Structure 1
Amino acid sequence: MRAFVLTGPREFAVRDVPAPVPGPGQVVVDIDRVGVCGTDVEFFTGEMSYLHSGQATYPIRLGHEWCGTVSAVGDDVDRRWLGRRTTGDTMLGCGACRRCAAGLHHVCERRFEIGIRGGWPGALAEQLLVPVSALHALPDEVDAVAGALVEPGGNALRSVRGADLSPGDSVLVLGPGTIGLLVAQLARAAGAEVHVLGRSERSLAFARTLGFAGVWADGDLPDLPWAAVVDASNAPGLPSRALELVEPGKRVVYVGLAGSPSMIDTRSLALKDVTAVGILSASAGLDGTIEQYASGAVDPSPLVAATVGLDRVGAVLGGWRPADAGQGPKVHIDPRL
């Protein structure tokens, strides 16, 4: 099969690689759609922290936001999975440690992360090998575009849950990228008054098309009682800004990751009696995200600017966008093109 292989910073090729064969407890998925993520870009540039900690090495096969159809199953897997449309969890815990036993497989010390950590090949390929335990079936109401946005949506839904919002609460989302805009959409669906803070005029202009209560540059931000501030940016200065802006006794949620350490003053955290919530992974939010998409409560499709084939992955990671791309922040890959 064909797969995108990253062999070093900005070194890549689409190669013919052996097609996966399912072992016990595993399935093979024919990939329909894959999202290109900021994490993939960090691997492309060589900045991703896992490369420096030894949790990931080149060559690497990227792709963790995906959907497709099960085409083969291991001998012990229920054959009713064959032909089913699905997406899946990125985080593959060992299944034996105390964290996995407690339902915290996404922070298992020995976990694989598909297309990210431990060498498990990702979905930027024609097929993907994945444990059946990681699968989440997609209903007909969730098409391929939305299906490949379930994984980022799961991170966003967990962020909204972490914000502990009540209907009518004012929430501020920092960063109008894919995760930030999904946080904003899901928070609005939960009844919150949603505002988005961004920097580039292009991203702000697109965010305004989605109908939120307010979309602001920093100098224009109104002084509102923010019941929660969700940092979905990659700016190292915004975690402290989130803490500065949130109402005392309320919540800040950190789902974005900067390329360098972010500093907050824990004295402010304590003296404002603020709860800080960190979010890693979509795992516990995947089913809820599928339900939100299937019901029509959230439509993530405007976030996808373009869909291209495997041969264009390297260019996309380098910042290229098709001339006819829309305004959204996300580019999808269809390996069948």
Structure 2
Amino acid sequence: MSGSMRAVVLTGPGKCVVQEVPRPVAAPGEAVVDVERAGVCGTDAELFHGHMAYLHTGHTTYPLRPGHEWSGVVSAIGDGVDPAWLGRRVMGDTMIGDGVCRRCRRGTQHLCERRGEVGIRDGRPGALAEQIAVPVSSLHELPDSVDAVLGALVEPGGNALRAAVAAGVGEGDRLLVFGPGTIGLLVAMFARAAGAEVHLMGRTESSLRFASDLGFTHVWPEGAVPDLPFDAVVDAATASHLPAYAADVVEPGGRVVYIGLSVTPSMFDTRTLVFKDVTAIGILSASPGLAATISAYASGTVDPRPLVGATVGLDQVGAVLSGEYEVGPGPKVHVDPRLA
């Protein structure tokens, strides 16, 4: 195997190239993984366009190598790593805590102030490449029933599962989800599996049609949501006015869950939460939900494979990020680095 590999590199706003870069070498406690599938995420698009907040806070700088939704096979290990990891099929946590701070010691390493974020923050190269090196502590082994496609959907699924659980809905409850993209649809799938009546609100006819094709019968364009009691609302969209709308339409005593991020700040009157006795929850990171998501996929409780609308090679990533590549009907694009 040569000493170089191909990887997607963002060199500046709107600039995406595929470069030959040195193959990763496993440091002590790390593993090198041959990437089989990697998802293109909205965060990758924000990094490409230069909108991502970390670019403005100094947590991330160009050039950078994106990709944090992935699966693959362990091909090399560093010192101190159990050789049994070799050959295992895995996916990895995006959030890499320092392991020593108070938050890490309390089990919330995804909130570590000094965390690295694979493909996003602090210069840790991402998985839109032939290989990736990560700490073994961040890896989750995949059972045989979770193939490479499902494995690369575990990370977004973990975020969605956490949002669905935070909404607290089940049999007899009604949930409204804003944004029928990858995360919103995954939230809807998990909530439906829990027995809730799920409603989805979106902006485009194509996204609502796709949601209907997935078996969701209550889909609404923005402005046409019926006047019904919603026990919880999950905002998985990116519009700055929707957080306030979520608080307006949720039932008194209900829950609003915020997982979508807008480019501009969201403003709303928190007295709405107080007068309605509403619980508001923010979700950052899939980390606490990864194991449960793998189990849900393995059992078939949730099958997100229809969400993958295209699988491309590394050379097509730039067109995907710029919006020039036509995707559909599913909203998620996967990358197979082995494709020409």
TM-score range, shorter chain: over 0.9
Q: Tell me if 1:330 matches 2:325.
A: no
- For 1:118, the equivalent position in structure 2 comes to 122
1:90 pairs with 94, 118, 132, which one?
A: 94
- For 2:141, the equivalent position in structure 1 comes to 137
1:103-159, CA deviations, whole angstroms, 9 ceiling, x for partnerless residues? 111110000000001110000000000000000111111111111110000000000
C-alpha distance in 2 between matches for 1:253 and 1:144: 29
Q: How does 1:184-263 map to 2 (within 5 A)?
A: 184-263=188-267
1:76-96, CA deviations, whole angstroms, 9 ceiling, x for partnerless residues? 111111111100100000001
Deviates more, 1:81-90 or 1:163-172: 163-172
Q: CA deviation at 1:62?
A: 0.1
Q: Tell me if 1:284 matches 2:285.
A: no
Q: CA deviation at 1:242?
A: 0.5
1:219-247, CA deviations, whole angstroms, 9 ceiling, x for partnerless residues? 32111111100000001111001000100
Q: How does 1:17-166 map to 2 (within 5 A)?
A: 17-166=21-170
Q: CA deviation at 1:213?
A: 3.8
C-alpha distance in 1 between matches for 2:97 and 2:261: 22
C-alpha distance in 2 between matches for 1:334 and 1:85: 15
C-alpha distance in 2 between matches for 1:160 and 1:314: 32
TM-score normalised by L of structure 2: 0.97
TM-score normalised by L of structure 1: 0.98
C-alpha distance in 1 between matches for 2:228 and 2:174: 8
C-alpha distance in 2 between matches for 1:99 and 1:213: 42
1:288-318, CA deviations, whole angstroms, 9 ceiling, x for partnerless residues? 1111111111110110100000001111000
RMSD: 0.8
C-alpha distance in 2 between matches for 1:243 and 1:64: 31
C-alpha distance in 1 between matches for 2:324 and 2:163: 29
1:176 pairs with 173, 177, 180, which one?
A: 180
- Secondary structure at 1:219 match in 2: coil
- For 1:321, the equivalent position in structure 2 comes to 325
Q: Tell me if 1:300 matches 2:301.
A: no
In structure 1, give the amino acid aligned to 2:318: G
Q: CA deviation at 1:320?
A: 2.4
In structure 1, give the amino acid aligned to 2:324: W
C-alpha distance in 1 between matches for 2:334 and 2:91: 15
Q: CA deviation at 1:218?
A: 2.3
C-alpha distance in 1 between matches for 2:28 and 2:224: 56
Identity of aligned residues (%): 66
- Secondary structure at 2:23 match in 1: coil
C-alpha distance in 2 between matches for 1:292 and 1:127: 27
**Runs of at least 4 residues of structure 1 off by over 6 A?**
none
* Contact 1:193/1:213, CA 8 A, preserved across alignment: no
C-alpha distance in 1 between matches for 2:297 and 2:328: 21
* Contact 2:98/2:104, CA 8 A, preserved across alignment: yes
C-alpha distance in 2 between matches for 1:240 and 1:153: 25
C-alpha distance in 2 between matches for 1:21 and 1:177: 36
Q: CA deviation at 1:164?
A: 1.3
* Contact 2:170/2:191, CA 8 A, preserved across alignment: no
In structure 2, give the amino acid aligned to 1:119: G
Deviates more, 1:325-334 or 1:149-158: 325-334
